[in-house]
Amino acid sequence: MSTGNPVSRKQPKVDLDATRERLTKLGLLHASDHVNQVLAEAVKESWPPHRFLDRLLEDELTVREERRLKTSLRLSGLPTGQTLGNFDFGFQPSVERSRIETLGTCAWIREKENLLIQGPPGVGKTHLAVGLAIRAIENAFSVAFHRLEDLLAALKRDAEISPQRLRRRKHMNVALLVIDEVGFESMTRQEASLFFRLVSYRYGRGAIAITTNKGIAEWPEMLAGDEVLATAILDRLLHRSHVLNISGRSYRLRELEAAAKSTNPS
Ligand SMILES: Nc1ncnc2c1ncn2[C@@H]1O[C@H](COP(=O)(O)OP(=O)(O)OP(=O)(O)O)[C@@H](O)[C@H]1O
Ligand SMILES: [Mg+2]
């Protein structure tokens, strides 16, 4: 007897077009496009029904995850080509692989801790920060990457907006904010105080990774010579933080060094 319920089962329709339409309605677009193919394989290989269903769903999830990764990477502003996988640990012995692998688990991001990567030019500070940020995206954390100069320009544009609007800015609320090239130039007093506002807002709310060529002792000078502000910023940044000090040769200059050696072997 019919219940009048629109979902009550009638004779099952063995019509692939209808199945595809249902998958589309459910938003399973990859499955909808590939159900024919997977079904043909299932028949050919005599898969049990649940294997067919599982494979259809697994493919849908894989495609979605790939799409999510691609979109998140694009929106993050991260440069391409620098991953933990292509970092040559042999070249930079001051970087402990095990430490980077531990950071690569993203536990520090989950705990809203900070990371400071210090060292001279070309030693791989940006490369490591970017590699760790990619790892964060793979682990489903939201990420924004900014060179300090661009971030300060954005902070200045936002100097007068309401706190509510400010909080919606990506650099305020992503799980990981990467600030690259801190210390290349000194900040003005206004920039230093906007930087303080950012660090102070994110403190305990989200992780920050900073790459810098300046040692801690040089921060007051970099922050408009304001000792009080520098202490307040460092206090928040360094509380629950990880510091990587990279000392070594510039990777950018390695080819020059090698060329110089081959022309002048002594
Ligand atoms: N150990 C490494 N293995 C592979 N590539 C590296 C390594 N170190 C640096 N590189 C590459 O060398 C170039 C310079 O590295 P990177 O930009 O990370 O240096 P940096 O420490 O940030 O320098 P700067 O202070 O000038 O910004 C990049 O192309 C980076 O991918
Ligand atoms: Mg750099």
Length of the chain: 266
Q: Give the domain extent around 121.
A: 97-245
What is the structure's pLDDT at 128? Answer: 98
Which residues lie near ion ligand 2 (Cβ < 5 Å)?
A: 126
Does residue 236 sit in the same domain as residue 117?
A: yes
Residue 190 CA, distance from chain mean position? 28
Q: Whose CA is nearest to atom 1 of ligand 1?
A: 88
Structure tokens at 130: 């970017």
252 lines ligand 1 (CB under 6 A): yes
Determine, yes or no, domain membership for 153.
Answer: yes
Q: How far is CA 99 from CA 72, 128, 131, 203, 251, in A?
A: 25, 11, 13, 23, 20
Q: Which atom of ligand 1 is least distant from the CA of 119?
A: 21
Residue with tokens 């159900």: 35
Q: What is the CB-side half-sphere exposure of residue 236 using CA atoms within 13 A?
A: 19
What is the structure's pLDDT at 261? Answer: 73
Q: How far is the CA of 149 from the centre of ligand 2 (A)?
A: 13
Domain count, the chain: 2
Burial of 29 (0-12, 13-18, 19+ CB in 10 A): middle
- As averages over each run of 10 residues, the pLDDT of the chain (266 residues) reads 51 79 96 96 96 97 96 97 96 95 98 97 97 98 97 94 90 97 94 96 96 95 93 95 94 81 67
CATH of residue 197? 3.40.50.300
88 lines ligand 1 (CB under 6 A): yes
126 lines ligand 1 (CB under 6 A): yes
Other CB atoms within a 10 A radius of the CB of residue 136 amount to 27
Sign of CA dihedral 228, 233, 238, 240: positive
Does residue 118 sit in the same domain as residue 238?
A: yes
Q: Are the CB atoms for 147 and 180 separated by under 8 Å?
A: yes
Does residue 135 sit in the same domain as residue 194?
A: yes
First to last CA, the chain: 97
167 lines ligand 1 (CB under 6 A): no
211 lines ligand 1 (CB under 6 A): yes
Does residue 108 sit in the same domain as residue 208?
A: yes
What is the structure's pLDDT at 3? Answer: 47
